[in-house]
Structure 1
Amino acid sequence: MNLVSLRIITADIKRLVQFLEKATNLPARWATDDFAEIVTSSFTLAIGSTRTLSFFGENIAQPANNKSVIIEFRVENVDDDYERIKDLTREIVQKPTTMPWGNRSLLFRDPDGNLINFFTPVSPEAIKKFA
């Protein structure tokens, strides 16, 4: 089994996709006006509007209500990315900090309040883990 995608449901898809494109420096692929994907070499971040929920039933998901998931991206240099995105978001939760498990981590929120972590492995163990 392979996890290949995570989908965020949002009430303002254009705003969120534009933010994520700027934050990740990756273009989104739009399938419809209600569904876009940001594709990396190992994972796809899907973004769907609340209108896509009608395919699944009522009260399936609530946009801008995440309090338990962190979306994580391994980046080349988290300090450089911090300089690039610090004015993009109103909420930097944690400036670049080296964590006890060997990753240098930047934690911030997207416009819907979802937590995003950019991290760079810096300890020998963490570098080996992601090699």
Structure 2
Amino acid sequence: MRVNRVIADLQVADIEAAKGFYTDYLGLTTEEFNLGWVARYTNPDTGANLQLVTTDATAPVAPVISVATDDVDAAYEQARARGYQIVHPLTTESWGVRRFFVRDPDGNVINVVAHRD
């Protein structure tokens, strides 16, 4: 699997309540998207970013990181072949991504994702 980007997914109780800390204090002032349950904030100068997540809209748990890849189908097949636990099946989501969740050996849930072009 080719990893293009890794983004931390920080679970918060309320995105709007947490937003000020991350935008004002940490300088992640660009809101790349906000779906109400997940939002990404980026520093426009450095590109540093973070996703705030309250809960996941379609999966049973929220991930700790999102890993962007150019071939999510191949990544899914590799995870299955290696016997890793699939927490959320390979799904094309209505908001424009294809993804699945896999549990790492320490129990962390990873969102493996590709954006539709």
TM-score range, shorter chain: 0.3 to 0.5
Could you tell me the TM-score, scaled by structure 2's length?
Answer: 0.45
Query: When you count helix as a share of all residues, which structure comes out higher?
Result: 1
Q: TM-score, normalised by structure 1?
A: 0.41
Q: Which has the larger radius of gyration?
A: 1
